[in-house]
Amino acid sequence: MSVKLSDKQRLLVFINVMITGIATSMLATAMTTALPPVTEYFGISTTTGQWMTSGYSLAMGIVMPLTAFLVKKIPTKRLYISGIICFIIGELICIFTPVFSIMMVGRVLQAIGNGVLTSMGQVIILSVYPAEKKGTMMGWYGLAATAAPIIAPTIAGVLVDTVGWKYIFIYTMVIMLISLVMSIANFSNVLELQEIDFDVLSFVLSIFAFGGITLGIGNIGSFGITNLMSGLPLIIGIVGAVFFVFRQLKLEKAFLDIRILKKKEYALAVISSMLLYLVMMGGSVLMPLYVQSVLGYSAVTSALVTLPGSVATAVINPFAGRIYDRIGIKKLYVVGSICLLISNLGMYFVALSTPLIVSAIFNVVRNVSIGCLMMPLLTWGTSQVGKEKVADASSLLTSLRTVAGSIGSAVFVAIMSAVAISSKASYGAGASMHGVNIAFVSMSVSTLIMVGIALFGVRKK
């Protein structure tokens, strides 16, 4: 049974969701900076250490489709508090364990908590606010969803250099403890429950589908697409996805209702969000590689180059939500996608001698564009389905864009490396820079599709 909230209660719930979102989103990317000291602490290889992030993504990919079922079956307050406790237990394990395999258990528990809390946060905001305020509130929530993961590696780098990598978990755990207290005091059962049975086969198929694809794509960067470590999970994931789709279409009450993709506007929002994540994650990986590996600057310099873009994302999110509420998605999508295309094409003309400020400006334009589009696309897409389908719409879109983000991280780095190697004879010392240029041009293809959708696929109203 859902509870109708007063304006004050609704605001307290929203603040709670924001605080939780900041902590969970930060830990999704923060550990990339801590990889060297973690591998040294546990005495493991870099390949093994990478599981801190790839294992995290894998667990999130598995749990997000499950959340669509959980929010319809378990009272909101109980499920939300359970997600926070799961996350905190995972952090405690990472802080105190002397064994990397045990630490991975902690990272998986954090990912499960993050998957539940992120999906719930979006559904709660989209459910408790009226249509004319959804964009604005989702814009503010975007501070946690977009700014926190981008800024997190910079904050983590400072913590690693000053007090040690374990403090990444300690500080985020303090935030989560505050959120736990607030949840117990202020949270309510704001989402309607539904009579729906747990379909074990659908859940198993979703594990193979979302987990296999996420794992396979994540391994491409380390092993290549033809290697068994990436090829086999990818094949299993694709086959699992096919069977998962057929299973959902047969069920009267689906585990994750994919029939909502028949709604043209929602389908366009999903495709657009996937393309956006493809570019966002690709750019977030390529920029540090360009500054550090190609130009030879320090990690601190790399952080300073990307920091203005991170700040721009944080600033633009609430404004983008407000603009969406006023003018709708059409104009916002057209302008945002064109600016995103310009920023990616601009990186093609960057050379080894080009001042870093130029790349930093292109990165700001890219991040502003992403901030203008990410939450408005989600808000627009979920507004095209009935209220009872918001959980399915949010979970499906979030799951698919997460998979797309993994593809972006792997594919564009692979393109950069392949071009750098093949053009060594022609470009000499500039081969790596040429690889970066071509990788950004490849990203422009994805962005061009977005421009096409914005111009010809989206209606004005």
Q: Across all residues in the chain, what is the average pLDDT? A: 84
Handedness of CA 126, 263, 213, 36 (dihedral sign): negative
**Angle at CA 420, nearest 5°, toward 417 and 426?**
165
CB 297 within 8 A of CB 416: no
In this predicted model, what pLDDT tens digit does every residue of 354-384 receive, in sequence order?
898 999 999 999 989 988 898 889 888 888 8
Residue 91, pLDDT > 90, answer yes
Structure tokens at 92: 């405690």
Residue 444, pLDDT > 50, answer yes
Closest CA to 57 of 404, 309, 390: 404
Structure tokens at 347: 């990186």
d(C-alpha 238, C-alpha 244), whole Å: 10
d(C-alpha 434, C-alpha 439), whole Å: 9
Q: What is the DSSP letter of 453?
A: I
d(C-alpha 438, C-alpha 416), whole Å: 7
Instruction: Pick the more confident residue, 215 or 206.
Output: 206
The pLDDT value given to residue 85? 95
d(C-alpha 225, C-alpha 163), whole Å: 39
Residue 2, pLDDT > 70, answer no
CB 313 within 8 A of CB 154: no
The one-letter amino acid at 170: I
d(C-alpha 107, C-alpha 38), whole Å: 13
Residue 272, pLDDT > 90, answer yes
Q: Which parts of 383-422 fold into alpha helices (H)?
A: 390-422
Phi and psi at 17, nearest 5°, equal -60, -40
The one-letter amino acid at 153: P
The pLDDT value given to residue 47? 66
Structure tokens at 244: 């998962």
The pLDDT value given to residue 90? 93
Longest dimension (CA), the chain: 68
CB-based contacts of 73-78 (< 8 A; 24+ apart in sequence): 73/193, 73/194, 73/196, 73/198, 74/193, 75/189, 75/193, 76/2, 76/120, 76/124, 76/187, 76/188, 76/189, 76/190, 76/191, 77/183, 77/187, 77/188, 77/189
d(C-alpha 272, C-alpha 64), whole Å: 19
Handedness of CA 315, 339, 323, 391 (dihedral sign): negative
Closest CA to 312 of 357, 379, 370: 370
Q: Write a three-state SS string for 136-172.
A: HHHHHHHHHHHHHHHHHHHHHHHHHHHCCCHHHHHHH
**Angle at CA 82, nearest 5°, toward 81 and 87?**
100
Banded pLDDT at 398 (limits 50, 70, 90): confident
The pLDDT value given to residue 1? 47
Query: In percent, how much of the chain has pLDDT > 90?
Result: 20
The pLDDT value given to residue 93? 94
Closest CA to 125 of 223, 14, 258: 14
d(C-alpha 62, C-alpha 207), whole Å: 5
Instruction: Pick the more confident residue, 352 or 214.
Output: 352
| H or E element that contains 133 | helix 131-142
